[in-house]
Amino acid sequence: MASLVEDLLNILQTERNTYDQLYDLAQKEREAIIDRKLELLEETVAKEQELGSELKNLENARVKGLRSMAIVLGKDGQDLTVSQIIDLLDRQPEEQKMLTEAKEALVESANRMQFMNQQNQVLLQQAMEMVDFDLTLFRSLRQAPETANYNRSAYSTGDFLPSGGFDAKQ
């Protein structure tokens, strides 16, 4: 059982380290968004995807380790969580303490990462709104205002002034 606890601790610590690496990348991503450096943003996103894949593998290893611990503890067929394992280790306070600390550190890193992702999402949304505003502005600069020409029924003809500048023929 001790080796299973050690394996679980190693997995939890590796997951935390990976989340910390993701947090560092998210800070670089935020700077790239603010500075509008698309190449840096692309590189950062590619590295984030690699770390996300690594996190998925670590999650699978953690679930596998928890299942092995469930079998050892006689909890066949149940998917135990780390919190439940901590509760079941009440006779082993040292392992219980180490698992609790590792779990809390992992949760803290994941929460910090989640907050940074939310901030980056807001920044990206604002950047997209600015791009949309700029495009709308450029389109409106190309379009001349509508003339006040009316047809026989007193409806506007919808004609636009020529966009080439001053019309000398009038």
pLDDT tens for 79-124 read: 788 888 888 888 888 988 999 999 999 999 999 999 999 999 999 9
CA atoms of 73 and 85, how far apart (whole Å): 9
pLDDT of residue 167: 53
Please, what's the largest Cα pairwise distance for the chain? 98
pLDDT of residue 154: 67
pLDDT of residue 12: 94
pLDDT of residue 111: 95
Tell which wins on pLDDT, 28 or 170: 28
DSSP β-bridge partners for residue 146: 160
CA atoms of 71 and 4, how far apart (whole Å): 11
pLDDT at 166 over 70: no
pTM for this prediction: 0.74
pLDDT of residue 119: 94
pLDDT at 170 over 60: no
pLDDT at 144 over 70: no
pLDDT of residue 159: 59
CA atoms of 100 and 96, how far apart (whole Å): 6
Highest mean pLDDT among 25-29, 34-38, 151-155, 159-163: 25-29
| 13-68 pLDDT, tens digit each | 999 999 999 999 999 999 998 888 989 989 999 999 999 999 999 999 999 988 88
